[in-house]
Amino acid sequence: MRKNLWILLVVALLSMVLVLTGCNGDDNGNDVANGEDFFVGLVTDTGGIDDQSFNQGTWEGIQEFADEYGAETNYLQSEADADYVPNLSSFADDEVDLIVAPGFLFEDAIGQVADNFPNQNFLLIDAVVERDNIVSAIFAEEQGSFLVGVAAALTAQEAGEDTVGYIGGVDFELIQKFEAGFEAGVWAVDPDMNVLVEYVGDFSDPSTGRSIASIMFDDGAYVIYHAAGGSGNGMINEAMERRGDGEDVWAIGVDRDQYEDGIYDGENSAILTSMMKRVDVAAYEVSVMTYEGNFPGGDIIEFDLENEGVSLPEENPNLSDDILAEVQSYIDQIVSGEIEVPTLPSRLQ
């Protein structure tokens, strides 16, 4: 009898050890996955993982999460829109813990795949799809764009210039928010300043982006802001070459701090500042929530100036302290509600 009792005690202890090593608990007693058992998959749009913009920023947030929590990650790169459903489905077939789709171009595809895999967790960035297994992250792009509009106008004024430019990727409602905020910020500083506007028609055509930028600079644009993904890299390259040749022009980056992308002589950058759309924060925070067993399925999470979901970079070597102070004053007015930034550009109002 004693021998049998001892065997039962040993089995019970071993069972407890296996349970404790199989999962961890949070402060509320919820099960939390071990890092090595947690997997986040990213599906890029056609801009690719190294687009120096939206996809790359999202991937950086996922990598930050993986480094901190020891999770596994991977990405599938889409060469065409037709790849979205197969790539999302591939991760879903593997039953990864979270699938991230960065961009409104995934809106139709992720809805279809979410219906096919109702137990799969998805994060959609930049659009809203109402499903219990999708969390949608959206941003107040117009607010962040207002700030860089202020910076562009003040910098142009200091140089005695009166024209700035905006290059969008595709002329959709979302990208129009960038245009609307930028021109509103420019005109808050100087209602008479010229704002040139052009759209590439694509997010992965740097050649056309550069051609448009060249025409804009020739037409007098002192600063150009882009919301064009990989196409905007062409604009940055044009600004880099011109500054390298001694021409006084500037570029403004988007989505992530593009200062390093604009270095043209080993030291100085053609990037005046960047509109930080913290897709990295969205990817990181939803990954953490999912990891902790709190996947916010069906929720819409908005990132704006108040929660620093949009912002300027922490470091802005090419902006003066006076300009940064002026930008801060506008941040305070927007957060307080004193200024309401439009979401439609003037051409559509």
Contact 341, 181 (CB under 8 A): yes
Q: Strand, coil or helix: what is 231?
A: helix
The CB-side HSE value for 9 (13 A sphere, CA atoms) comes to 6
- Residues 6, 164: Cα–Cα separation, whole Å: 82
Contact 33, 291 (CB under 8 A): yes
- Residues 98, 291: Cα–Cα separation, whole Å: 9
* pLDDT lower than 70: segments of the chain: 1-36
- Residues 126, 203: Cα–Cα separation, whole Å: 15
Q: Which two tokens stand for residue 177?
A: 């928010």
pLDDT for the residue numbered 35: 52
- Any idea which residue has 């100087």 for tokens? 190
Contact 91, 43 (CB under 8 A): yes
- Any idea which residue has 């644009």 for tokens? 221
Residue type, 43: V
Give the single-character DSSP code of 169: S
Contact 206, 237 (CB under 8 A): yes
- Residues 228, 210: Cα–Cα separation, whole Å: 11
Radius of gyration for the chain, computed over Cα atoms and rounded to the nearest angstrom: 23
Q: What is the DSSP annotation of 40-76?
A: EEEE--TT-TTSSSHHHHHHHHHHHHHHHHT-EEEEE
Work out whether the CA dihedral 306, 311, 316, 321 comes out positive or negative. Answer: negative
Going along the chain from its start, the domains and CATH numbers come out as 27-139+280-303 (3.40.50.2300), 141-277+314-344 (3.40.50.2300)
Residues 125-151: tens digit of each pLDDT = 999 999 999 999 999 999 999 999 999
Look at residues 102, 147, 144, 148 and name the one whose alpha carbon lies nearest to residue 122: 102
- Residues 171, 169: Cα–Cα separation, whole Å: 7
pLDDT for the residue numbered 5: 36
CA angle 77, 83, 88 (to 5 degrees): 75
Q: pTM for the whole thing?
A: 0.80
Q: Strand, coil or helix: what is 316?
A: coil
